[in-house]
Structure 1
């Protein structure tokens, strides 16, 4: 009953087609600053105050009238009287961040002074505003601090706190339904000991759930669905309130592979068969404007489809802005062979300043990913790389 791969779509074409059918959700919620790191602002932030809101000492030292330090040097120090108020010839100790005392306009750093009783020897001349932070030096009132769509980092949250915010409006996280399928799967919750031959513990769904959470979604982890078209259809229809659906398993062309056909019967199957190795059986579809990703059953192929399609699809749903991926340049410690016509996902490990491809890293060997430090993508028109060639290495999240 399986569907034959009549054509193979390139990775770039498949992703472009998939993303064209996805729109940002734009549903919003207000959350506390303590929980907003990693979220996306749903409105611009305009400052309602100056930061700092007072003139402050930028260094530990002595607040002075700059005019009282004229000509001061190590060989010609000026003596000032330590006091709790400023008059001509006096000074006040201040620490970093303290409000500048009335009448002072500069700070002499402590390294340029020495004290004897109530006398302070000033060994450097300072000018007005030296070592002084001005009102609004960091942020001025009515400054546009962040735009809508800004991805909040912990340092950004600290800025919001300095502006007096307690809560902030962000876009809601998309809900991603993860549906594991397969007669051969055994639930980890129900398993006792080692499964019998031909049966395996369900792990791809768990991996999908954890990546969904890491990438900014809210996973909905469903029970295992058998390899039955009606059961798969019912599971999908029961989760059409989700923002994306991931079907794990049942995507190839065997008699028990029904996921793509079920997606086609309920909506539109955009792609089935993608030029990536491992990961060719992956399928992409749309059901009632809900994006659907069908992951292959082999663990590494499943991971590749998660990286290539679930992650960018989820980010578009969540309105998470594009960010450059960290790419390391390394030379190969051994030759890489690849399959022409496919983007090849090659797992590698670091060896000093080089990387070595893992041997025996088949698509069903999940531990090869855990052992790998990163991966190299060999384009479909290149037949591998030679030892010593420089390649781009992507880190495995």
Structure 2
């Protein structure tokens, strides 16, 4: 089965570019140039150099021995939390800032939920001396204060989104509106969402994760293929990166974990694959949570990075084709998983990542010898939430 998009950006029925006419020149410019830029020796040299000397790649593939003993299987953690800025997001922003420079752009806009993409974008803008504007939901600004402070220190201007649930969806809406009004800007999208070519471009830039997993796993075990790879999914960029080089290898099970919030059917959830239907959001056709009138249903998760009402078109296709298994974890299960990893391995994960860890107790682990979990971010930004629930 083909897991790369066609020329119009479709993975099966999902993808495409549903955009206002005013944005067509911007998106076409990117579509016409991104693959040529990414494949150029100039880009690859600059990208790899920054990933190595600035970001700190390769990120370790860590054999979590005590976690493995507890679950009677072999668990490896891909330590994206050890990247500069504390998450996988920087893999994408380094790549896109280089593409923006190739296209002659001088002003960057971005959306952010948990703040990690905002921090990663502000970081590379500071590095390259470019103006940076970040849109962030008012709710997320309050619950992700450390990342807001980092963005401001890095010189970014933060514009609050005050509509809807005041979270990631609304920040994206505001960013797109701003982009329409200021078409000279470059929109640095943070996940495998949005109009083509963004989902494919972001997946390609995050593919460094699975590229390294293959090399590191072979070095440590003699086999580059785990039995399963687990990653959390909101929009889905860390999962896309962890899955990318295994998409056509059906011997490797791909497990995507969504946020169930207070329960899949509680009305307070972000489990898109379970609750969603086919529709269009933020420029692409995908699976999204909507009511009988096609209006977007507000998502909820304790994690600011997972409360998105849709999922990237690649993941919608992986779900429909059954190439990936979609699971979910509630707020409570994610918190328990985070506390467990912290106490067993001395690693405090981001709340997003904790959802991926939370499915281990739900799986029949007897059929897995080796599992890789993408530890997509560190938990510093979520300490206030962790502290609030510590004694509950």
User: Is TM-score (shorter-chain normalized) higher than 0.5?
Assistant: no
TM-score of the pair, normalised by structure 2: 0.25
TM-score of the pair, normalised by structure 1: 0.25
Structure number with the bigger relative contact order (C-alpha 8 A, sep ≥ 6) is 2
Larger Rg: 1
Q: Whose helix fraction is larger, Structure 1's or Structure 2's?
A: 2
Q: Whose strand fraction is larger, Structure 1's or Structure 2's?
A: 1
